[in-house]
Amino acid sequence: MAAGDRWKYLYKALSKSGPFSDPDWVPGEETIKSLEESKILVIGAGGLGCEILKNLALSGFKDIHVIDMDTIDISNLNRQFLFRHSDIGKPKAEVAAAFVEKRVKGVKITPFVGKIQDKDEDYYLQFKIVVCGLDSIEARRWINSTLVGMVDMDNPESLKPLIDGGTEGFKGQARVILPSLTSCIECQLDMHAPRPAVPLCTIATIPRQPQHCIEWAHQIAWQDKRKDDSFDSDDMEHIGWVYNTALERANEFNISGVTFQMTQGVVKNIIPAIASTNAVIAAATTSEALKIATSCNPFLENYMMYAGEEGVYTYTFEAEKKTDCPVCGSLARKITVNPDVTLEEFIEILGEQPEAQLKKPSLRTEETTLYQRFPPQLEEQTKSNLKLKLRDLVADGQEVAVSDPAYTIDFRFQLIFT
C-alpha cells in the first residue's frame, strides 16, 4: 500500500465536521498536521501494548514512543502478535517497535527498554498524550502521580491526558484522565477489588484446595527450607521446587489437582489473558487518543467498563474527583519563605495562612521526616529539626507535605526561598 493511501479515509473524516464535532473545531489540513505531529507515549508493550501500537500506527499517529522493561516469553506468543518464536528473550519494546515500523511505513516508533521510573519529568514533558497498557496498579499509580505533579499553570503543554486501559480475563476498562482536572487513578483506587486472599491459617493448617498447597509451599515451606534464596517466579528450578513440595503436601491431605501449570499460575498470580478483551480495550483507548489529538469528536468522560463474561455489557460513567485525593486533591501551592527562618517559625507561619490555619501539623519531604508529632519516639527523634533553619532542611523549590489532625485532607507546599 502506498504510504499516502493508508490514511486517505481517515483524512477525509478529519476534513469535515460531523454531528458530534465541536462547533469551534476546524477540520482539514491543520488538524491532520497536528495528529501527525502528536508525539504519543505507549507504556507497556504486552498484550494491550501490541494492540495499542498497531492501532495508533493505523490511526495516523506518526511519532510513537513505547516503553517496556520486559523481555519476550514463549507464553506471550499466543496474543502478543508482534512477536515471533525467534524473538524470545529479546526486549518487547524494541521488537514491537521494529515490527510496526516495518509494517506501517511512514510511522516512527522509538522504543525504550526499562522502567517508567527510570525516566523523569523532562522525558514525559515531550509527549502530548500518554496511553497505558499496564498490568500493575503500582506502575499506574506512579505514572498518575508523576503526570499530576507535572501540571504547571504557566505552561499549557504540561497537562498530559492519560488514557488507561486494563484487562483481566473477560473484563476490562478504559478511562481518560486529565491530570489535576478530572478524577485520577488514585481517586479511583478503591474501585479495584484486591485479589481475594486465602487466610494464612487455612494454608498453614487445613488446606482444602490444590491452590492452598501451592500457597503453602510458596509462602511457608520456602521460607522455612530455603530462606537464603530469594524466590524468583521466572526461575524454573524454583517453580519446580514449589511444585514438588506442594505435591507432597497435597498427597498428605489427599488433595488432587496440583499441576506444574497451576503452580506457575498461583505463584505468578496469573489470570488468563484473553486476546479479544485486549483488542476491545485497546481499540477503546486508541480511539480516545485519536479524538483527543484531533478534537474531531468528544472524548470519553471518563470511565468505560467492559464485561464480556456473559454476552457483552459495557457501562460508561463519570468517576468523580476526590477532594481529599492524596495525589490530585491538592496541587502543591507555592509559598514564599525566608530560608533563614527555623522550622518552628515556619510551622507558625503555616498556622497564620488563611487557607491552611494548621494547628498541629506533621511535615515531611520525600527524603526527610521534618517533624512528626506522634508517635512519641518519632517526635523525640525529629524535634531537634524545629530549631534548624529551613535552608538546612529543604532545598529551594522542594515540596513539603503537611498533615494535620484537624483536617481530613493533606496539604502540599512548594517552598520558594526569598
Partner 1 sequence: MLKIWSMKQQQQQAENAEGAAGKKKKKVTAAQLRVQRDLQELTLGNTMKMEFPNPDDILNFTLTIDPDEGMYKGGSFNFTFAVNQNFPHDPPKVKCTQKIYHPNIDLEGNVCLNILREDWKPVLNLNAVIVGMQFLFLEPNASDPLNKDAAEDLRQNRDLFKRNVRTSMGGGNVRSIHFDKVLR
- List, by residue number, the catalytic residues: 201
Q: Which is nearer to partner 1, 196 or 311 (CB)?
A: 196
Contact 285, 14 (CB under 8 A): no
Q: Which is nearer to partner 1, 25 or 170 (CB)?
A: 25
| Among 3-11, 79-87, 145-153, 270-278, the segment contacting partner 1 (CB under 8 A) | 145-153
- Residue 367 beta carbon to partner 1: minimum distance, rounded to whole angstroms: 6
- Residue 201 beta carbon to partner 1: minimum distance, rounded to whole angstroms: 4
| Among 61-69, 137-145, 247-255, 274-282, the segment contacting partner 1 (CB under 8 A) | 137-145
One residue of 154, 228, 237, 310 binding partner 1 per CB under 8 A: 154
Count residues contacting partner 1 (CB under 8 A)? Answer: 75
Gap between the Cα atoms of 68 and 171, Å rounded: 23
Q: Which is nearer to partner 1, 264 or 330 (CB)?
A: 330
- Residue 278 beta carbon to partner 1: minimum distance, rounded to whole angstroms: 24
Q: Which is nearer to partner 1, 98 or 332 (CB)?
A: 332
Q: Which is nearer to partner 1, 3 or 409 (CB)?
A: 409
Gap between the Cα atoms of 372 and 378, Å rounded: 6
Residue 175 forms beta bridges with which residues? 164, 303
Q: Which is nearer to partner 1, 80 or 146 (CB)?
A: 146
| Among 89-97, 98-106, 163-171, 390-398, the segment contacting partner 1 (CB under 8 A) | 390-398
Site for partner 1 in 92-131 (CB under 8 A): 121, 128
Site for partner 1 in 188-217 (CB under 8 A): 189-190, 192, 194, 196-201, 204-205
| Among 107-115, 251-259, 287-295, 340-348, the segment contacting partner 1 (CB under 8 A) | 287-295
Gap between the Cα atoms of 394 and 339, Å rounded: 9
Site for partner 1 in 337-376 (CB under 8 A): 362, 364-369, 372-376
Residue 301 forms beta bridges with which residues? none
Site for partner 1 in 298-327 (CB under 8 A): 326-327
- Residue 185 beta carbon to partner 1: minimum distance, rounded to whole angstroms: 10
Contact 167, 82 (CB under 8 A): no
Report how far apart the first and last C-alpha atoms of the chain are (Å, whole number). 62
Q: Which is nearer to partner 1, 80 or 182 (CB)?
A: 182
Cell numbers at 376, concatenated: 512519641
One residue of 78, 223, 251, 357 binding partner 1 per CB under 8 A: 223
- Residue 61 beta carbon to partner 1: minimum distance, rounded to whole angstroms: 14
Site string for partner 1, 392-411 (x = CB under 8 A): ---x-xxxxx-x-x----x-
Residue 55 forms beta bridges with which residues? none
Site for partner 1 in 18-77 (CB under 8 A): 22, 24, 34
One residue of 51, 87, 186, 215 binding partner 1 per CB under 8 A: 186
| Among 10-18, 58-66, 151-159, 340-348, the segment contacting partner 1 (CB under 8 A) | 151-159
- Residue 214 beta carbon to partner 1: minimum distance, rounded to whole angstroms: 16
- Residue 178 beta carbon to partner 1: minimum distance, rounded to whole angstroms: 6
| Among 62-70, 82-90, 248-256, 330-338, the segment contacting partner 1 (CB under 8 A) | 330-338
